[in-house]
Structure 1
């Protein structure tokens, strides 16, 4: 690996506890347990050890908490994905493996944040929904462009590259709905299996 690749690779596979401000961590826990509409501002404030006015000092509404949480989630995912792809080099097959692995690991290790992003998009105000969808579209374009490059190189043979790209992304995202660290599959084995499924979806011609 070159020095440039080592710099690009730094951290995208590394996950500790989410580094969220206390109000967002409290909102995440409440939304995951009760849903956005089932959660009150008073509940979030109590979880964050703040008064309601104290919470409003940081975030002026429950909607701003949801938006702040989703913005941090997508910023993290996109940054990790870009580092993963950059570190993989120029070969489409390697770049595809990197972006799929990154999506899988993110949706395992940040599953609550990812789950809220998938289920509470309906709760977003119009003023932010378009920006959030633009983030998701950017992530999908990253996958699609790698598949297109693989098609051009003759590495991928699917007749439906756009559909395959959506299917691969959806598969990775869905991991957040069922993965448990205590389950029968550890993270590395899940990545190995699902990467094979993703390669099959795009018609990978290699070994």
Structure 2
């Protein structure tokens, strides 16, 4: 089991890696199955052997994306212990790292919700709600323990999560700040949102 902070290249099956590239470049509706198959080095029938439709490719990609995100967040919280501030910092850092190092997957997850079929849509939204509740719970615990002073914990938790997700739209590995410096800066922003009380 890898550490929740460790990121290498995304470990996606070739058809999903090809679908990710195509969806980022052209969008779901602008991508053909033939294009995905070509990118994956497969024939169209060969691609259909693994994934029977373009929708199944999108769903497969989002399932892997969300399972990775949720696992990392849960491991971060488990490693942080019981202190609400430590838990808050851990879940925020996990969200930031994911949206920095899995930018393309996060982008597709945010922009293609509208493209999900009716059966899978609530499943995917359920994953997102589960992730948001991790943030909600640590903010609630921090308020209850006097570590955070926000009078709107639900809204503050939503604002923190939105800030973390937004990193995927602008972060660049070769940008002016190192990953760790950027995370430290955004942790300060996140603490400000919830009204952190220094110890």
Match of 1:117 among 103, 109, 117: 109
How does 1:12-27 map onto structure 2 within 5 Å?
A: 12-27=4-19
Cα distance in 1, alignment partners of residues 178 and 33 from structure 2: 36
Q: Please report how far the alpha carbon of residue 206 of structure 1 lies from its aligned counterpart in structure 2 after TM superposition.
A: 1.1
Please provide the CA RMSD for this pair: 0.9
1:70 corresponds to 2:85: no
Match of 2:197 among 184, 188, 205: 205
TM-score normalised over the length of structure 2: 0.98
Instruction: Name the counterpart of 1:89.
Output: 81
After TM superposition, the runs of 4+ consecutive aligned structure 1 residues lying more than 3 A away are: none
TM-score normalised over the length of structure 1: 0.95
Where does structure 2 lack aligned partners over 5 or more consecutive residues? none
Cα distance in 2, alignment partners of residues 33 and 25 from structure 1: 12
Number of residue-to-residue matches in the alignment: 199
Q: Please report how far the alpha carbon of residue 185 of structure 1 lies from its aligned counterpart in structure 2 after TM superposition.
A: 1.5
1:55 corresponds to 2:55: no
Cα distance in 1, alignment partners of residues 70 and 87 from structure 2: 14
Cα distance in 1, alignment partners of residues 178 and 48 from structure 2: 40
Q: Please report how far the alpha carbon of residue 11 of structure 1 lies from its aligned counterpart in structure 2 after TM superposition.
A: 1.1
Q: Secondary structure at the match of 1:95?
A: helix
Cα distance in 2, alignment partners of residues 114 and 58 from structure 1: 23
Q: Please report how far the alpha carbon of residue 156 of structure 1 lies from its aligned counterpart in structure 2 after TM superposition.
A: 0.4
